[in-house]
Amino acid sequence: MTRPAHLPMLPTLPSLALVAVLVLAGPARAQAQELPPLSRGQTLYLPVYSHLWHGNRDKQGRPEIVYLSALVSIRNTDPTRSLRVTQARYYDTAGKSLRDFVSQPQTVPPLGTLELFIERREAEGGSGANFLIRWQADGAINPPLVEAVHTDLYGNRAISFSTQGRPINAGE
């Protein structure tokens, strides 16, 4: 007996079994992300690029440079409690402190964000610039998510990428 052309082809029992195995195995293969421990404060290291080397070297052996702006985003991930950013010190490639973006503690409300901006024309930081960001809370909370989004939009060219902060021991 032949199947009429207007009826869809039904899957066979072996193909249904394979689909069931793949559907059931999918969640088992996915790795659960561990929750970070609650904290009352940390020092975070955040890489920032005020420029990138690229292209070919010139006659003096220097590669081309593209300058970037950077938006530093300090996001309070705790839904019920505030945190205080007590320092956001910006360092250049050589590790020299350039300035502190937070002159006095800044409160970030639950699920709020503190934003800091480095202009594209600021080239002092260099390709190895970074921030040390210190935060505190009155009780143990979810640690903030700290990122820098780097961009250069020029003509039909667009560069954009992000970096994330990570906790360090800063001898506090």
Rounded to an integer, the average pLDDT of 146-160 is 90
> Half-sphere exposure (CA, 13 Å, Cβ side) for 1?
2
DSSP 118: E
Looking at residue 11, what is its pLDDT? 54
Looking at residue 53, what is its pLDDT? 84
Rounded to an integer, the average pLDDT of 137-157 is 93
Q: CA distances (Å), 49 to each of 6, 93, 137, in order?
A: 60, 9, 29
Looking at residue 15, what is its pLDDT? 47
Domain locations in the chain as residue ranges: 48-168
| DSSP helix/strand/coil, 19 | helix
Asked if residue 70 has pLDDT above 80, the reply is yes
Which pair of structure tokens corresponds to residue 15?
A: 């193909």
Query: Per-residue confidence at 52, pLDDT binned at 50, 70, 90?
Result: confident
Question: Phi-psi bin for 45: left (phi > 0), alpha (psi -120 to 50), beta?
Answer: beta
Distance (Å, whole) CA 91 – CA 87: 12
Neighbours of 136 (CB within 10 A): 15
Mean pLDDT score across all residues of the chain: 85
Place of tokens 């421990």: 37
According to the CATH classification, is domain 48-168 in 2.60.290?
Answer: yes
- At 16-44, the pLDDT tens digits run 444 444 445 555 555 667 888 999 999 99
- At 86-130, the pLDDT tens digits run 999 999 999 999 999 999 999 999 999 999 999 988 888 988 999
